[in-house]
Amino acid sequence: MHRGDKKSTFMKKYILIIGIMSLFSCKTNPPLQTVANVDLNKYLGKWYEIAAFPQYFERGCSCVTAEYSLSGKKYINVLNSAFKAEENKFTSAKGKAFVEEGSNNSKLKVQFFWPFKGKYWIIELAPDYSYAVVGHPNRKYLWILSRTKEMNAELYQKIITRTQEKGFDITKLKKTDQSCK
Q: Is the dihedral of CA 46, 52, 57, 61 positive or negative?
A: positive
Q: Which distant-in-sequence residues (6+ apart) come within 8 Å of 130 by Cβ? A: 146, 147, 148
The pLDDT score that the predictor gives to residue 74 is 85
* Cα-based torsion angle of the residue sequence 148, 154, 158, 164 in order, rounded to the nearest 10 degrees: 90
Question: So what's the pLDDT on residue 1?
Answer: 54
Ordered by start, the domain boundaries in the chain are 40-175
pLDDT of residue 17: 39
Q: What is the pLDDT of residue 9?
A: 42
What is the C-alpha to C-alpha distance for residues 122 and 149, in angstroms, rounded to an integer? Answer: 19
For every one of its 181 residues, what pLDDT tens digit does the chain have, with 9 covering 90 and above? 555 554 444 334 433 333 333 333 345 678 999 999 999 999 999 999 999 998 766 777 888 999 999 987 789 999 999 998 888 889 899 999 999 999 999 999 999 888 888 899 999 999 999 999 999 999 999 999 999 999 999 999 999 999 999 999 999 999 999 998 6
DSSP state of 58: G
45-52 and 116-125: which strand pairing?
unpaired
The pLDDT assigned to 71 comes to 85
How many Å apart are CA 119 and CA 62, to the nearest integer? 23
Give domain 40-175's CATH number out of 1.10.10.10, 3.40.605.10, 2.40.128.20, 3.30.450.20. Answer: 2.40.128.20
